[in-house]
Amino acid sequence: MKATDLLVQCLENEGVEYIYGIMGKETLDLIDSLSKSKQIKFVNVRHEQGAAFMADIYGRLAKKPGVCLATLGPGATNLLTGISSANLDHSPVIAITGQAGLERQHPESHQYLDVVKIFEPATKWSVQIKDSQTISTIIRKAFRVAQMEKPGAVLIELPENLAPQMIPSNPLPVSPIPKSTPISQAIEYARSLINQSNKPLVIIGNGVIRQEAVDELLTFMENLKAPAVHSFMAKGVLSKDHPLNYFTFGFTKQDVVLPIIEESDLLLVVGFDFVEKLPKEWNKKQRPVLHIDPLPAEMNEHYPVKGELVGDLKETFNALNSLEIQSKPWVPSGNLKEQIKAAYQIDLEVKGNQALTVENILTIIENLTTEKTIVISDVGAHKVSIARTYQPKQAGRLIISNGLASMGIAVPGAIGAKLACPDDPVICITGDGGALMNISEIETAKRLGLSFIIIVLNNSALKLEEQMMQDKFANSFGTSFGNPDFVKLAESFGIKGVRPNDLIEFETELKNALNQSHELTLIDVHGMNV
């Protein structure tokens, strides 16, 4: 069989449903093979960066790798930001790129770049297929590497001359990723550390959601009765009204949650990725750590590990839950919960005549969302507000990129989310800066017949950078710009565009959009009072 037919067969074998990308001469054989697949839909996008973001968000939500495709040179470099984002956010993604034939890679050669080398620092594995006979092995390994803790991105490059070669069909059988449990001595030692502590604090990281260990952690917490805080990407593990929920930490400024970390005498750090915030930022007093994670701890003076439970989080908590752990109920001093709620503007009383602030808008969104609603944040001042104010009703239903934190993820991300969870409402919230980076993917969404809501917080500025420039230099040079008419822009794509004038109109438009489950709607929140 033809090499690219086998490649497609191997992808089908891995359960791939969608490949997002843009073709080029060097990928034509692969595209032709894809056109014959009854299982895989090729989603031709408007920019390869969008393809990578779609694969990233699809991968997080579908719990299997998202796949994207680009040609050599410029196609591959356009993928790089989205692939880096998936890798740093630990989302499983496979990128496939075309390449010049092996015969023309040594001289100065049209559009030839060493893509494998470029992607090495941005992936877990970056590999060129050098022999078409190795396709099955490489694809199987790629899917395993992308999914194994910590998940991330893999790049596979197929040189043009290998694509049409004839080879035997031999996809490898798919087997589950093995799971490990900490040894019993480690569990026993962890139990003794917890029992000796007076004020343990659970720090919840995104690994808990990735490893689907939410229920097991909640059972553990019901027994322990000690408070917990979330990283940005772990929001939603404890419900808003859970008595042990002390919300979200990891902010650069005004992190009012930090006193609870300082007051604790043992931090149970569960599935936390340093890429979200280095411990020196949040563990300034160097509180002792019980590290609970699929991977051993990265040692650090601000991460003084006293014990490690290394293994699958579900299995680890099942093991801990089978033991008697002493309850350690404690409440941080100074009415901290109320202070956090006030500072983060959680549970705002929103009335129709109030200003169109991000927090008021987020409160309305929260009031109208269900456990199924997926909210995707772009990157900017609004992301900070979302991380503080918005409380998702279920873990994994608020997508925040907090690894690479690249602007432009929200609109293509919404496409990936809708394809992973077609029955669930999707709302993406973006600044005007990030919106225009990948707004062209509205055409892709419209073509696919998808429905979701795009909320553009329109302030004609790179607000986050403006705030930082002001704080540091009392200057806002380079942070403002003009905008298109977002309503007309939406309409030019053939989708609905609305511009509410106040909070009442915003609420009405959002309700309408949520009810129109077959439509794409852009809500231009103009003149934001951030």
Ligand X SMILES: Cc1ncc(C[n+]2csc(CCOP(=O)(O)OP(=O)(O)O)c2C)c(N)n1
Q: Which residues bind ligand X (CB under 6 A)?
A: 378-382, 405-408, 431-434, 457, 459, 461-465
User: How is residue 320 written in tokens?
Assistant: 């801990």
Pairing mode, strands 426-431 and 453-458: parallel
Closer Cβ to ligand X, 433 or 497, answer by number: 433
The answer to whether the CB of 263 falls within 8 A of the CB of 199 is yes
Q: Is the peptide bond before 328 cis (omega within 30 degrees of 0)?
A: no
Q: Which residue has tokens 């997926």?
A: 374
- By the 10 Å C-beta count (0-12 exposed, 13-18 middle, 19+ buried), 121 is classed as exposed
Distance of CA 307 to the CA centre of its chain: 29
Closer Cβ to ligand X, 74 or 259, answer by number: 74
Determine the Cα–Cα distance for residues 246 and 419; give it in Å rounded to an integer. Answer: 33
Minimum Å gap between C-beta 412 and ligand X is 13
**CA triple 173-176-182, angle to 5 deg:** 150
User: How is residue 424 written in tokens?
Assistant: 């669930």
Q: What does the DSSP 8-state code read for residue 25? A: G
Comparing C-alpha atoms, which of 199, 262, 257, 197 is closest to residue 226? 199
* Residue closest to ligand X when measured from CB atoms: 431
472: Cβ contacts below 8 Å, ≥ 6 apart:
none
Minimum Å gap between C-beta 466 and ligand X is 8
Minimum Å gap between C-beta 385 and ligand X is 8
Residue type, 119: F
User: How is residue 378 written in tokens?
Assistant: 């772009």
The answer to whether the CB of 1 falls within 8 A of the CB of 168 is yes
What is the chain's length?
Answer: 530
**Hey, how many other C-beta atoms are within 10 angstroms of the C-beta on 8?**
24
Minimum Å gap between C-beta 401 and ligand X is 9
Closer Cβ to ligand X, 138 or 428, answer by number: 428
User: Cα dihedral sign for 471, 474, 478, 479?
Assistant: positive
Side-chain-side CA neighbours of residue 85 (13 Å): 31
**CA triple 51-55-59, angle to 5 deg:** 175
Closer Cβ to ligand X, 255 or 315, answer by number: 255
Minimum Å gap between C-beta 430 and ligand X is 6
Beta bridge partners of 154: 94, 125
Closer Cβ to ligand X, 84 or 264, answer by number: 84
**Hey, how many other C-beta atoms are within 10 angstroms of the C-beta on 256?**
18
Minimum Å gap between C-beta 301 and ligand X is 28
In order, the DSSP letters of 289-351 are EEEEESSPPPPBTTB-EEEEEES-HHHHHHHHHTS---------TTTHHHHHHHHTTTT----
Determine the Cα–Cα distance for residues 124 and 129; give it in Å rounded to an integer. Answer: 16
Closer Cβ to ligand X, 313 or 381, answer by number: 381
Closer Cβ to ligand X, 183 or 355, answer by number: 355
